[in-house]
Structure 1
């Protein structure tokens, strides 16, 4: 049973009675739904639940599925009642699946894909094939197409390579994955969809604590562990409470390092094992104060530090789980987050104000030997033999973000529902990047490959950006005859960005400085019609628009990359600006609860028209370059089934299909791209299935066996679909055996049970890959107090 859905004050009052009735009808304990509500709401709901118990007992004995409440529309609604394609994992499900990180639940979500370059916080995300088209370089270039929210606040960085906060999946009320553009409510970065982490809120009524620990070992790798603890303390009964959550985790490494002398002696001994271990520390302090019945004040403070000892990439020339490096490639991401949530009930409507400050600092070091070898057409052994260990690329990305959102929304059950709000976002950040390669410069000058007067270092860049966004948004819906709901939503966004960039080095040929200022406003509407012939069925149709802001990049007006631009028909003098892209998503879906809520079946089909796509191109000079490159069409479908045919057996099935291809000539002559070509990194089929069987051991102990498997067909990271950038299909399976008591759970698990070699990304040279974790064995225990 999921822990109580602890929602905002406005959400609670608007929907608590309906939630209780629906929960009782579905056979779910009303007290569980109301566990997070305060004061009179909880008391009244308990009374209503008692009255509903007799009506719900017969259906409760039918072993129905749990009811999950979500706020994907900014209101509390049953998952089966919202006209959106949403996957929601409540706390009980996350624990049952043994989820620790984002990757664990992403594998089980239809149409949600990710790739990264082997380090923390460098992931690129896509939903329904709408993502960063990397052209063989994961994580480079444009802003994310998927918004990531921490409760009320977006926490995605402005550029995808910096990714977003990824909190430990512990003490979360639920995770919601909203597929399709949700720009009306969630802003510019949500043209593909939105991921929301909803934290458990402090409970002002009673003390609570829980503990979760895990120890695991990776086959052929090291040993990892995780320790998580939560304590909830009522400070003033029914008025003030504090919730403290602490997590410490080490993900074991499984990549071994060979010295660069490997190129002269392939039989050389490896110098270090399991170099890619990752340590994560996080602390969250949340307070909840209800000085009056109508007012709730909830400050939250969060700190997280992720440190990787070295990159998790493997070099093709060395073999599986092996890399050739002169030393470590340390990477880190430090996040400081503070939020103040204020909610006030006016009676006719609820006011919600969310104020957030986010300080995010990402640093990393990359070995650039393979990249330089590819760029200069030098055999890697020759390059290594004629340079010292200064071919490491240093990147420092500090970002500070301030976000303010305020909204007023109706809170009754009238046919007319409305919401209006304003949003402000201010981000100061940038990226300093340095690739010295001074010994390489001396070597190239000796060959006469670069002028003797050229700088000795390869590349140095300093980019600083200030971005402001202001948005007004609203939504109206009206329900006719208690069955047909029509809705229209609109968001107007104004974006202003100032960028300063300075580059130098022999790759660019000169010291370049660029200062630019850009202004853009966009309108993102959403329309839907939803028909509910009865409480168990919903049919909906929607049309929604999403957009992604453009960006400035370092202009290329001098140096060896200029001919590469001219080859593509790009004017070097206009190479510093990338326009925004946009899409329309047309969707038809249905949601059904069948056989007395023993089975739910959710289906969605969609058509996406994506225009002016921001796309990364790998220039022949070796530099990555982002440009606008034509349009694409994505046609797809999703199916989610959840069932409980008997008291002891539960199962789930998720399936997604995407046919994504270019539908016109590219704006530029991008190598390998032709009309009708499949979009890179979009698998046609993804299937995920799981089942759990539970059985009584004693009167107080219950055992369970669970199995899950995901299959994903092959993808390519380039339009030409060359083997160099091919990521094979794979099966990812896990099994879990456990026993649970009233407040204690212990389990043994095996992840990646087939020991598949999974490739999550390939670098721009095709010489390095980011493999997934090999077979992993572990033990996990949890307890509540």
Structure 2
């Protein structure tokens, strides 16, 4: 529920930050605010009232309230009215309308945000919490950073004041993960002495899919006149599925995974099998039998359902004329079934999944703010506590065609004495048909696998800011920021073949080296769990920041800002596995004779990274800006800024034992594994981004048009790149600094009041990206120099027209038509023989709507999303080691109703 008029035709003043801001009735002010670096409509679009007046947009991009047109920073602000007009409810909706912003991922709550082309590819979701890099774009919910690698906090867009996008490094004011930009979700706050309430409902039908429905409500109640008000918003949104899980089969393929034994195995004369049998003269050839998995038990049409349910409560108290206090509580539950990427080889919107796919993503946030004045200073203290819990199951069957050790679990394979504890000599580490079943065949069991994650992310933040008089020629804003964040992650990798073969379960209590491990859970787990990550990541930082601005003259201003930060990152917990715990020489007639090894291997990361814990990063980053305002219709600025991203650990680097003072593990030390001589670092370093930007904000055509934009040059050094390649590098996912890139781009947004009835919104971005250096040691993973960065269309643009007119009886009608175009884009920076990157097609998406509103407070709208039923390739990924395409929702026709009780 977005409050005010649901369909964007409110004839009243629009409320921002508890104050009314409205320009005088001049021709200049009848123009529409431009800003739409984001929108099929206008991302940062201003509001045009029925009287043709331009509403000022107040933003807090500089950590204090200011008119968007008066600050020397690129800001794309989707206002409350814009969000309504474009029916934005979730992450996928608002990202679609922001041409400077892209995302990589595979469904609700499983994306990473990229701005201005600074993109790589999202880390595999199964290890995002365990080991993934921090994102390079910060996501804020009001005053708190809620950034999470691989898992954007997918906040439902209801009763939202605006969404601000701040492109380019914002590190001096917003910290570590604001390397390439910041996205801020800013909620409506309680309004003193104003009763307001609204109710809205919607219903829609998706072509070839299931129907969807939603209900939202908001109420703002003054409790003590002039002192206290409370506000509540509640919502439920059920989005029907549109992807079919069809019947399919999967068989392990030795051609794709050479670790499998092939179609048969030759044993030389004299070879001794595990049961003591000696191969006779001339040797013997044993055939291999591969079990085929089927998805028949999970076949379902339109199986990717989504539901958002939640609430937000807030209270604002005016302590006195100078001080106020605000508290807010937000709770949301996001649940999904199925997947949101499909297999193009199986047909349109079809996929074959062999185990369950589901997600439950819940969060609560408590936030509080105290602000006021002390003499000539504005003071703000704000804090928040976030608790997010994620439970996910996903099909991991594709791992069977990439895992270097998976054949040892699925097939009859005799491992060494560490695992089976038997003295059977030369038969160790070999395929062996005598272990169970038919001794004349090597059996490879069920190749279906699944992954089950249980994550908890908690984050406590505090920030104190002070600002001087914004009208003074010398101005200062500064403060102190503190954050304490931790991730508790349990990731169970479940292989069905070993479970069906009777492997014993993992039990870390059997492994003395894990006795002191920092475990979130101990003891027995599912019989199918062959590998477990049980990790604890914690990050603590304190930062001091400030920005000083000075008006050299009435038209020229210089500003300098800096941020000093001290960040500590720790990584503890364990990785545990069972391998070779297959029942040996089983006797169906007398199971007491069966040999069932029971060994759990593992590593304690606190011990393996002993000397390196914690990683401590201390530095100062800066930003400089020169602003020129020759007249009230033009502002130009030049900015030089920089951003950074924290370092982290590589679990796989501990494979040779405890850290011994060297910088990396030379995997060539074991050439029999086919490792290419890659030196795997114990920790990967920060990557940095430097930006030089020229921007402008102008009013044209006697105030009937506004045009904002910026050109920029970005140098991105030591890019963090993740990869999983157990055949050639490591049994674990690794992250390393892969190289450097350059980005040259331009972004513009425009709003044109073509007439009293017609408003045109437009926005575009053009990014020329190039990988200019590849680390020679990592070149077998990273694509060649000279190629573009992934997930970045060279050109993106959108255009929207909205026409409204008065009708009899106090009614107003409107229609709206918009479209977005996106160039083709590369899907990943990783380019290997087994995982070649590919180009995603260009696409056009069209939306249309028409509706009526009345002075009585009600409105109704008919809309069509994805008018041409375009199947956009939003992200071609290999997260499950099989190529899938994340796409947009098919053509959807719907109706929305709204009633404003004001």
TM-based fold match above 0.5: yes
In the alignment, the residues of structure 1 paired with residue 476 and residue 655 of structure 2 have an alpha-carbon distance, to the nearest angstrom, of 54
Cα offset, 1:494, TM superposition = 0.6
**Residues 204, 234 of structure 1: 8 Å contact kept:** yes
**Residues 123, 139 of structure 1: 8 Å contact kept:** no
Deviation digits for residues 735-782 of structure 1 (CA, Å, limit 9, x no counterpart): 011111132221111111111112222124242232221111100112
In the alignment, the residues of structure 1 paired with residue 605 and residue 551 of structure 2 have an alpha-carbon distance, to the nearest angstrom, of 54
Residue 147 of structure 1 is matched in structure 2 by 138
Residue 740 of structure 1 is matched in structure 2 by 853
Cα offset, 1:483, TM superposition = 1.2
Cα offset, 1:667, TM superposition = 4.8
Identify if the C-alpha distance between structure 1 residues 483 and 400 changes in structure 2 by more than 3 Å, giving closer, same or farther.
same
**Residues 493, 522 of structure 1: 8 Å contact kept:** yes
Quote the RMSD (CA, aligned, Å).
3.2
In the alignment, the residues of structure 2 paired with residue 123 and residue 402 of structure 1 have an alpha-carbon distance, to the nearest angstrom, of 23
Residue 652 of structure 2 is matched in structure 1 by 555
In the alignment, the residues of structure 1 paired with residue 678 and residue 395 of structure 2 have an alpha-carbon distance, to the nearest angstrom, of 30
Deviation digits for residues 420-456 of structure 1 (CA, Å, limit 9, x no counterpart): 20000001213211112152588899xxxxxxx9x99
Cα offset, 1:457, TM superposition = 5.2
Matches within 5 A, 1:29-428: 63=52, 65-118=54-107, 120-134=108-122, 140=128, 141-157=132-148, 160-164=149-153, 166-261=154-249, 271-375=299-403, 387-388=445-446, 391-428=449-486
Is 1:491 matched with 2:549? no
Query: Among 599, 604, 607, which residue is 1:513 paired with?
Result: 604
In the alignment, the residues of structure 2 paired with residue 507 and residue 131 of structure 1 have an alpha-carbon distance, to the nearest angstrom, of 37
Identify if the C-alpha distance between structure 1 residues 438 and 107 changes in structure 2 by more than 3 Å, giving closer, same or farther.
closer
SS at match of 1:555: helix
Cα offset, 1:524, TM superposition = 1.6
In the alignment, the residues of structure 2 paired with residue 693 and residue 150 of structure 1 have an alpha-carbon distance, to the nearest angstrom, of 33
SS at match of 1:668: helix
Residue 676 of structure 1 is matched in structure 2 by 786
Cα offset, 1:110, TM superposition = 2.4
Deviation digits for residues 232-256 of structure 1 (CA, Å, limit 9, x no counterpart): 0000011000001001111111111
Is 1:776 matched with 2:786? no
**Residues 124, 131 of structure 1: 8 Å contact kept:** no
In the alignment, the residues of structure 1 paired with residue 629 and residue 621 of structure 2 have an alpha-carbon distance, to the nearest angstrom, of 26
Residue 717 of structure 1 is matched in structure 2 by 827
Deviation digits for residues 206-232 of structure 1 (CA, Å, limit 9, x no counterpart): 211012211111111101111110000
Residue 764 of structure 2 is matched in structure 1 by 655
Cα offset, 1:718, TM superposition = 3.3
Residue 707 of structure 2 is matched in structure 1 by 601
Cα offset, 1:372, TM superposition = 1.9
**Residues 6, 201 of structure 1: 8 Å contact kept:** no
In structure 2, list runs of 5 or more residues that go unmatched.
1-9, 32-47, 252-291, 412-442, 504-510, 512-526, 581-599, 607-612, 657-666
Cα offset, 1:162, TM superposition = 2.6
Give the TM-score, by structure 1 length: 0.87
In the alignment, the residues of structure 1 paired with residue 294 and residue 386 of structure 2 have an alpha-carbon distance, to the nearest angstrom, of 47
Deviation digits for residues 658-709 of structure 1 (CA, Å, limit 9, x no counterpart): 1111112325233352221211222111111111111222251111111111
In the alignment, the residues of structure 2 paired with residue 667 and residue 3 of structure 1 have an alpha-carbon distance, to the nearest angstrom, of 60
Moved more, 671-680 or 647-656: 671-680
Cα offset, 1:20, TM superposition = 5.5
Is 1:592 matched with 2:698? yes
Deviation digits for residues 313-335 of structure 1 (CA, Å, limit 9, x no counterpart): 32344322222123431111110
Identify if the C-alpha distance between structure 1 residues 312 and 267 changes in structure 2 by more than 3 Å, giving closer, same or farther.
closer
Moved more, 197-206 or 694-703: 694-703
SS at match of 2:150: helix
**Residues 77, 162 of structure 2: 8 Å contact kept:** yes
Cα offset, 1:565, TM superposition = 9.7
Identify if the C-alpha distance between structure 1 residues 154 and 268 changes in structure 2 by more than 3 Å, giving closer, same or farther.
closer
SS at match of 1:596: helix
Residue 464 of structure 1 is matched in structure 2 by 536
Higher relative contact order (CA 8 A, sep 6+): 2
Query: Among 612, 627, 631, which residue is 2:718 paired with?
Result: 612
Is 1:481 matched with 2:553? yes
Deviation digits for residues 286-305 of structure 1 (CA, Å, limit 9, x no counterpart): 00000211110000000011
Residue 627 of structure 2 is matched in structure 1 by 530
Identify if the C-alpha distance between structure 1 residues 161 and 627 changes in structure 2 by more than 3 Å, giving closer, same or farther.
same
SS at match of 1:511: strand
Deviation digits for residues 525-583 of structure 1 (CA, Å, limit 9, x no counterpart): 111011111111011100001001111232345499976998454334x4x31111111
Deviation digits for residues 607-626 of structure 1 (CA, Å, limit 9, x no counterpart): 00111110112325375321
SS at match of 1:242: strand
Moved more, 68-77 or 282-291: 68-77
**Residues 228, 318 of structure 2: 8 Å contact kept:** yes
In the alignment, the residues of structure 2 paired with residue 347 and residue 564 of structure 1 have an alpha-carbon distance, to the nearest angstrom, of 73
Identify if the C-alpha distance between structure 1 residues 391 and 544 changes in structure 2 by more than 3 Å, giving closer, same or farther.
same
Moved more, 543-552 or 456-465: 456-465
In the alignment, the residues of structure 1 paired with residue 49 and residue 572 of structure 2 have an alpha-carbon distance, to the nearest angstrom, of 63
Give the TM-score, by structure 2 length: 0.76
In the alignment, the residues of structure 2 paired with residue 22 and residue 648 of structure 1 have an alpha-carbon distance, to the nearest angstrom, of 19
